[in-house]
Structure 1
Amino acid sequence: MLHNRLQSIQHWIKNQKAAYGVIQGKANLFYLTGFRCDPHERLIALFVFPDKEPFLICPNMEKPLIKQAGFDFLIIGYSDHEDPWGLINKHLASMSLVGEKIAVEKDILSVTRLEHLQTLSPGLSFVSCDAALMELRLIKNSEEIAILREAAKLADFGVEVGVHALKQGRTEMEIIALIEFELKKKGIAEMSFGTLVLSGEQSANPHGKPSMKPVQEGEFILFDLGVVLEGYCSDITRTVMLGQPSEEQEKIYHTVLQAQEDTLSLCREGTILGDLDRKARSIITKAGYGDFFPHRIGHGLGTEVHELPSLNELNTDQLKVGMTFTIEPGIYVPSVGGVRIEDDVLVTSTGYECLTKYPKELQVIK
């Protein structure tokens, strides 16, 4: 599988008349090599050529792990006292390179590394390979889907732990600690993003910051979390009620639920992505909360928790079988609180499959 992915990007580099490509982003490196890590300030980069075998440069400490991950081409290791760019230059000088450009991830390439590449290959221009790599990652195969299903199950479990941990006076941070502790007991070393437990007025901030605030009766409690499993991410949001809801709280919740369910019903091959956002937005606006739905209906999901496709109202692309993404309408009213319901969705040949399955009816925790 890795070889097929490398061949695809090699073919693209050749069509671009590029001498080589340099891949250093965490998600793209994992996708092409099977190795996932955060190298911090150290350089890990994959050099891909149109008609030659690739090589990877990395700290010596990572070499055994990269081999274990399944990358079976040349690995050039370096120690902390060595200059990796000098080693790259030496290797490139031994190759006969033909091309006018260097393919790079323009979205994430630092200026410092750009200057190093300009020194390595003066006179060559730069072309972005971000879209080409994202296009490769857009459609998931059966192996990827199997992992995403398991990651979604663990996200469901995380919400279940959080809901069971709810009691008046327990803080948001305490509940997060309990969720992540139970997930670590199941072998999860990395969350997709910082786990959110937001209560009361805090839940009215879509990406609020959890705190030592105790949860209280009469509040919405919003859970947003996901795990990284074998390099693939999950992402779920559920909102529950601690104590009896007010009439307005019930209206907000059921409006979001209707928006999500009606939007999910459109998820099938050929649907215009923008139509999904417009469907949810029309329901929320009709209920009088249009000004309180400030984000798109969803985002792609895979080796990154946010990737293509972007499910915004202006996207004219169509859903394809094998795409995975979130559907997550929300209403956030500052004086009342916020509700978001989010599922991970797979487009199938017969429609769609919700990978996350934690119940969505309004739960009142007493």
Structure 2
Amino acid sequence: MKNWANGWIYSREEGPMRFDPSVYQSRLARLRSILLSSHIQGLILFDLHNIRYFTGFTGSDGALVVREQSATLLVDGRYLTQARKEVQVADLFLFQDKVDGLESVLDLKAGETVGFEASAVSYTFFLRLSDRLREERLKPLSEELNSIRAVKDAEEISCMRRAAELAGRVLEAVTSKIRPGVPERDVALEIDFGSARAGAERMAFETIVASGANAALPHAKPGLKNLEQGDLIVIDYGLVVDGYCSDETCTFCLGYADGKKREAYAAVKEAHDRALEAVRAGVTCSSIDRVARSVLERYGLDALFSHGTGHGVGLEVHEAPRVSAKSDTVLTAGMVITIEPGVYIPGQWGIRIEDTVLVQDAGCEVLTKMPKDLIIL
């Protein structure tokens, strides 16, 4: 064994692990199956969401080396105390330089190959790592790792239920402050502040509040535009509880809705509802997308639906699987996905309705709590 001066840290402290250590041990066991299937002798993880998933570490820098019989979390001095409290399923290694630390921990023998998360490192870092370990000993992995967090366990689902419930309470409270003359940005700030005050760790993404013509932009940023009578207002928001995200979109109408807006809303709502009804274990993501799109096609609105029907949610607000026309991923019980059809008329207005759902064997459970019927504020 190497000594302290060379980086190894033996002691850990009992700390507030989010889940029981057996949860992380089970996840690491699944990860190790990739070693065999990919014909590698080790795996380096850099993505911090994956590192949190497998160890419980919540710091903002580090690397995780997994071998058949061991797991080692590499951190620098900023995170030593934190890692000793959070991580019970991996050895700890204190590094001064990450590449030096990886070389020391891996200690590759002749003929050994190590996989790494190619999408989580810069080209500059890859050049440094490949120069030290030799490029032919590094195997980039992406597809093999993309879906590893897709099926949620009971602890994860519990976190996501609480996140969705908290988010719903926050938005319900904010709706009383949505009135003519209030800037979009102020509504977004109310949601963000209300979430923090209610106990959220942070927002899952930048809150979208888009009214009038801005609502025709699927990823609009809230600005200084004042809300006006007759505006459709798209609010897309999510917050984080114990690391896990919620994601929900509601479209409200301020004051009144004319016939065209009501008809379009009804069409999007029908597409949303039919897609929800189609969600169950064993169906493909592309078939869910096709259901939503076919409803809008009957109303002549399919050309105005410019994005996929949904995506996975978990430690990240966008993760596997993708619910789109090109995704043949088969849904499995325990996956958590969004259903979010929309219609966007450039220069006029837009509508999106989104719920996050838990895939089950015979259907799905809707986790998000706000009602999705047209609400006139």
Q: Same fold (TM over 0.5)?
A: yes
Amino acid at match of 1:57: L
2:147 is aligned, of 126, 132, 135, to 135
* Map of 1:151 onto structure 2: 163
Q: Which moved more, 1:271-280 or 1:312-321?
A: 312-321
How far off is 1:343 after superposition? Answer: 0.3
* Map of 1:247 onto structure 2: 259
Deviations 1:244-278 (A, max 9, x none): 11111111111110110011111112222211111
* SS in structure 2 of the partner of residue 281 of structure 1: helix
Kept in 1, the 8 Å contact 2:292–2:309? The answer is: yes
For the residues of structure 1 that align with 2:224 and 2:141, how far apart are their CA atoms?
43
How far off is 1:98 after superposition? Answer: 5.6
* Map of 1:339 onto structure 2: 351
Matching of residue 184 in structure 1 with residue 190 in structure 2: no
Matching of residue 12 in structure 1 with residue 34 in structure 2: yes
Amino acid at match of 2:30: S
**Which of structure 1's runs of 4+ aligned residues deviate more than 4 A?**
none
For the residues of structure 2 that align with 1:174 and 1:48, how far apart are their CA atoms?
46
Amino acid at match of 1:30: R
Where in structure 2 are the equivalents of 1:54-93 lying within 5 Å? 54-78=71-95, 82-93=96-107
For the residues of structure 1 that align with 2:154 and 2:252, how far apart are their CA atoms?
33
Kept in 2, the 8 Å contact 1:263–1:280? The answer is: yes
Kept in 1, the 8 Å contact 2:25–2:89? The answer is: no
Amino acid at match of 1:75: L
Which ranges in structure 1 are unaligned for 5 or more consecutive residues?
none
Identity of aligned residues (%): 31
Amino acid at match of 2:157: I
Kept in 2, the 8 Å contact 1:298–1:328? The answer is: yes
For the residues of structure 1 that align with 2:85 and 2:111, how far apart are their CA atoms?
33
Kept in 1, the 8 Å contact 2:201–2:243? The answer is: no
* SS in structure 2 of the partner of residue 168 of structure 1: coil
Amino acid at match of 2:82: L
* SS in structure 2 of the partner of residue 18 of structure 1: coil
Matching of residue 264 in structure 1 with residue 282 in structure 2: no
Matching of residue 210 in structure 1 with residue 222 in structure 2: yes
* SS in structure 1 of the partner of residue 94 of structure 2: strand
Where in structure 2 are the equivalents of 1:174-323 lying within 5 Å? 174-323=186-335
For the residues of structure 1 that align with 2:134 and 2:191, how far apart are their CA atoms?
51
Change (3 A) 1:260 1:171: same
* Map of 1:330 onto structure 2: 342
Kept in 1, the 8 Å contact 2:355–2:366? The answer is: yes
1:47 is aligned, of 61, 65, 69, to 65
Kept in 1, the 8 Å contact 2:71–2:89? The answer is: no
Kept in 1, the 8 Å contact 2:184–2:225? The answer is: yes
Kept in 2, the 8 Å contact 1:18–1:99? The answer is: no
For the residues of structure 2 that align with 1:132 and 1:71, how far apart are their CA atoms?
26
How far off is 1:122 after superposition? Answer: 1.4
How far off is 1:234 after superposition? Answer: 0.9
Amino acid at match of 1:140: K
Matching of residue 28 in structure 1 with residue 18 in structure 2: no
What is the RMSD of the two structures over their aligned residues, measured on CA atoms?
Answer: 1.7
For the residues of structure 2 that align with 1:14 and 1:317, how far apart are their CA atoms?
23
Q: Which moved more, 1:336-345 or 1:158-167?
A: 158-167
TM-score scaled by structure 1?
Answer: 0.92
How far off is 1:114 after superposition? Answer: 0.9
Q: Which moved more, 1:331-340 or 1:82-91?
A: 82-91
1:108 is aligned, of 120, 139, 148, to 120
Change (3 A) 1:92 1:103: closer
* SS in structure 2 of the partner of residue 138 of structure 1: coil
For the residues of structure 2 that align with 1:14 and 1:98, how far apart are their CA atoms?
18
Q: Which moved more, 1:336-345 or 1:314-323?
A: 314-323
Change (3 A) 1:37 1:157: farther
Deviations 1:20-76 (A, max 9, x none): 21101121111111122433xxxx1111113x3121111212122223223343212
For the residues of structure 1 that align with 2:93 and 2:87, how far apart are their CA atoms?
15
* SS in structure 2 of the partner of residue 216 of structure 1: coil
